[in-house]
Amino acid sequence: MKFSGKNALVTGSSKGIGAGIALELGRQGANVAVNCHSGVDQAEAVAEEIRAAGGQAIVIAADVSDQAAVEGMVAQVVESFGSLDLFVSNAVYSDRELMISADMEGFKRTIDVSMWGAFFGVRAASQQMVKQGQGGAITVVSSPHANLAIPTAMAYNMSKAAIDHMARTAAIELVRYGIRVNVFHPGWIDTPGERKFFSEEQIDAGARSLPMGRMGTPEEMAKGVCFTLSDDAAYMTGSTMTMDGGVGLPWWSNREDGRQ
């Protein structure tokens, strides 16, 4: 039980990778605040699963692009659990359109949630951790989009590149307080969010074309994120952990294994 007695907040944890992280933290002994924007029923199902396994969990509905709401969410965690020891910035929003014809409302929403939401969360969480004076661990879930200029995803690409640098800067600013900040890069993961952009047929075909011949799972990503938060990673800060199934390997673009 690596996180026994620790109190955690995971943004965007009603489904997908965030839900996987919240559940794994709960399994490993943490008290978990499950955050959602609108999917309260889904978030409550995640919290109930944590409770059923013997842990404590609360649900907090808050829009991470709203700084006051994020600060209120951190205060609610402290009121419920007594402290905030672990924070995972995971909440995202994304539209897929070419930059020259993009609906600017969706473009701005992507940046507000994916970039500003991450910053507001890291700032509020670290302020609380500094106040407590007992260190802490923060992990920012980013993406290979931070490094890849993927077309139709400019706002998301921009946001992920920004939060990678944000997290590294936070790491050097917060190390004096015993607070570690790291970045996590998942690959193409089988989550409900992918159904916004692709049909099941496209997902099946795309998964077979990946280096490992399949998509990753939220449960796999959760174990990686939990490592970065744990004392096993006590000497790790300002680093990026990648679990992308080999997508970032240079040989993948010129595959000779016959996989189609």
Write out pLDDT tens, residues 135-162.
999 999 999 888 889 899 999 999 999 9
Fold of 7-243: Rossmann fold (3.40.50)
Whether the Cβ atoms of residue 248 and residue 144 lie closer than 8 Å to each other: yes
**pLDDT of 44:** 98
| CA 41 to mean position of chain CA atoms | 20
Whether residue 156 lies in the annotated active site: yes
Q: Which residue has the higher pLDDT, 203 or 18?
A: 18
DSSP 114: I
- The mean pLDDT value of the chain amounts to 92
Q: Which residues of 11-40 are buried (b: 16+ CB within 10 A; e: fewer)?
A: bbbbbbbbbbbbbbbbbbebbbbbbbbebe
Write out pLDDT tens, residues 68-116.
999 999 999 999 999 999 999 999 998 889 999 999 999 999 999 999 9
Residue 39 makes CB contacts below 8 A (sequence gap 6+) with 14, 15
Residue given tokens 């407590």 in the structure block:
132
**pLDDT of 259:** 45
Whether the Cβ atoms of residue 39 and residue 193 lie closer than 8 Å to each other: no
| Cα end-to-end distance, the chain, whole Å | 42
Domain residue limits, the chain: 7-243
Percent of the chain with pLDDT over 90: 76
What is the residue-wise DSSP string for 36-63? ESS-HHHHHHHHHHHHHTT--EEEEE--
DSSP 115: I
pLDDT at residue 197 is higher than 80: no
Write out pLDDT tens, residues 206-234.
778 888 888 889 999 999 999 999 999 99
Q: How far is CA 106 from CA 119, 203, 226, 230, in A?
A: 19, 23, 31, 36
Backbone region of residue 258 per phi and psi (left: phi > 0; alpha: psi in -120 to 50; beta: other values): left
DSSP 100: G
Tokens (6 digits) for 186? 């998942």
**pLDDT of 124:** 98
pLDDT at residue 188 is higher than 50: yes
**pLDDT of 220:** 95
**pLDDT of 195:** 67
Confidence of residue 258 (pLDDT cuts 50, 70, 90): very low
pLDDT at residue 250 is higher than 80: no
**pLDDT of 109:** 97
pLDDT at residue 256 is higher than 60: no
Active-site choice (93, 156, 177, 235) = 156
Q: 56 — phi, psi (to 5°)?
A: -105, 140
